[in-house]
Amino acid sequence: MNNNELRGQRTRFMRSPGGQEVILKESVLNMTKTMSASTFNNYLILIIFIVCTGALILLTSSIVIDIAALSILSIAAVVLVRADPVHPYTWFSLFFLLYAISYPYMILIGHPPIQISSYGNSLMVTQWLALSSFLLIVTPVRMERESFKQINHRQYSMGLSKNMFVVFAVLSLMVVVGISLLDFERKDELYESGALVAVIGTRVITVLLILFTVLTAYHIFNKGRFNYVILTTTFFLALATFLVSGERNIILTFVLSMFYLYYILLHKDHNNKYLYLAAPLLLYLPTLFNTFKYFGVTGEVKESTGNLVVDVFNTEFIAASRNLQIILAGSETEGIFSGYTIFSAFIRAFQIPFMPDFLSILAFRPQDWFNDVLLPDRSGGGLGFTLVGEGYINFGYAGVVIIFFIVGALVKHLYVKSNQGLYYLSFYILTIPLFIYSIRGGLATLLSPLVGQILLGIAVIFLMEYVIRKNFMKQETEKV
């Protein structure tokens, strides 16, 4: 029973004669009990899957069984929430699975990366522990899609945001032109150059994406369709920024924002076949974007192996599990930092450009330690890091649980809040790519853009719209 039906029950309760009072009360009570029972059953099923898959991984040393067990747990989580794309169980579990099994799969088929070629069962044990911790803290409680459509959009006024969109569209175009004039071949060279356009570039385009998401949601609420001028403008600017800078997160954020806005606010349930067709395409996007990562800089694309599965596993998705295996194979890496990188991640989240050295020295990067200590002979671009590994180098296996409890609690909070307002919905949608990429990055990869770009950007837009709306209402009152 959805919220509208429940309100209908309560309305009939208020209008019904006294003789039906008890019956209607029991109806509402029984519905609540049924929902609670369903949640409990799903949680119990989840625990059973966690225990069974954990036993398979812990009690065997077969790489095939390890991959199969983690795959079963991930798919079970998706099924428990009826493959709802909005629920974290669906998008996080599937992307985590791809990151987790890519390295073991490449070892299995005889195509190991050049950095390491060994496999230990502890790799899958650690990743199973991480995913299990995340699933337990998030829980399989699911919100009905209809609840999003009941957001009171009439309390918002987007006049200022539309003007801001034009301003940031122009600024984004200037950023694209500015970056294209710089001399670099890799993304790390771009940021190490210290050029102002590189420092503020991602922040400018991030604000544009925030405005796109907020304005599009508002337009769909009012008109029942996309604003194609805003949609087209944002697409070309996001694509251009990606091509000249190699920032895949920009174009992925745009695509996922468009997908979720469509699914949550426009999608009809009888068209689910198109949704199922879109799912593998969305999972393939990081690999596709990796292929064209520096096309705008070098004019070249990464060559395909001719094997789609190898292309997917051996590019974007291999980083997290490969890097974790390197950490696990290293000597004295367990608990070496005792929480320091977790602390520094929260410090970096509030770090601003040009922060004085006496403060920025606290913002230690575990990626730098990983590259310098465990891969001293590395050449070429960055290899990313690993969110699971960051937990391990702080407090061992307990650290993995801590990290994924933090991430899970944050995801759960944003998901629960997402149907309580237009800005909450936009914030949740915009953070999904951050959670995905943090799997191959680290805690700072998640917290820094979440706080310093998306949260700050939405807060500024909200406050400016709020002040203007209050002033307008005050003027109207004075006229009366």
Band (pLDDT 50/70/90 cuts) for residue 480 is: low
Distance CA 326, CA 131 (A): 20
Q: Mean pLDDT across the stretch 214-228?
A: 90
pLDDT at 232: 96
Is residue 1 over pLDDT 60?
no
Cβ proximity of 350 and 358 under 8 Å: no
Distance CA 415, CA 88 (A): 8
Which of 317, 340, 342 has the alpha carbon at shortest distance from 401? Answer: 342
Which of 122, 65, 105 has the alpha carbon at shortest distance from 315? Answer: 105
102, burial (CB in 10 Å: exposed 0-12, middle 13-18, buried 19+): buried
Distance CA 457, CA 470 (A): 20
pLDDT tens for residues 418-466? 988 888 999 999 999 999 999 999 999 999 899 988 988 888 888 877 7
Q: DSSP assignment of 177-197, as one string?
A: HHHHTS--SSHHHHHHT--HH
Which contiguous run of DSSP H or E holds residue 362? none
Distance CA 259, CA 255 (A): 6
Which of 349, 444, 334, 346 has the alpha carbon at shortest distance from 399? Answer: 334
Distance CA 312, CA 402 (A): 30
Dihedral over Cα of 210, 215, 218, 223: its sign: negative
CA angle 256–261–266, rounded 5-degree value: 135
Strands (DSSP E) found in 187-344: none
Give the torsion through C-alpha atoms of 73, 75, 80, 83, to 10 deg: 160
Could you tell me which residue, 376 or 175, shows the higher pLDDT?
Answer: 175
Distance CA 437, CA 253 (A): 11
Cα dist from 259 to 59, 288, 310, 452, whole Å: 41, 17, 26, 24
Band (pLDDT 50/70/90 cuts) for residue 337 is: very high
pLDDT tens for residues 121-144? 999 999 999 999 999 999 999 888
Could you tell me which residue, 25 or 94, shows the higher pLDDT?
Answer: 94
* Residue 258: CB atoms within 10 Å: 18
- State the residue for tokens 């109806």: 27
pTM: 0.86
Which contiguous run of DSSP H or E holds residue 419? none
Cα 410 to the center of its chain, rounded Å:
11
Band (pLDDT 50/70/90 cuts) for residue 316 is: confident
Domain ranges of the chain: 3-142, 154-303+407-479
CA angle 11–12–16, rounded 5-degree value: 125
CA angle 153–159–161, rounded 5-degree value: 85
Distance CA 464, CA 451 (A): 18
CA angle 283–288–289, rounded 5-degree value: 105
Q: What token pair was written down for 168?
A: 């940031």
Distance CA 57, CA 131 (A): 13
Q: Mean pLDDT across the stretch 240-263?
A: 89
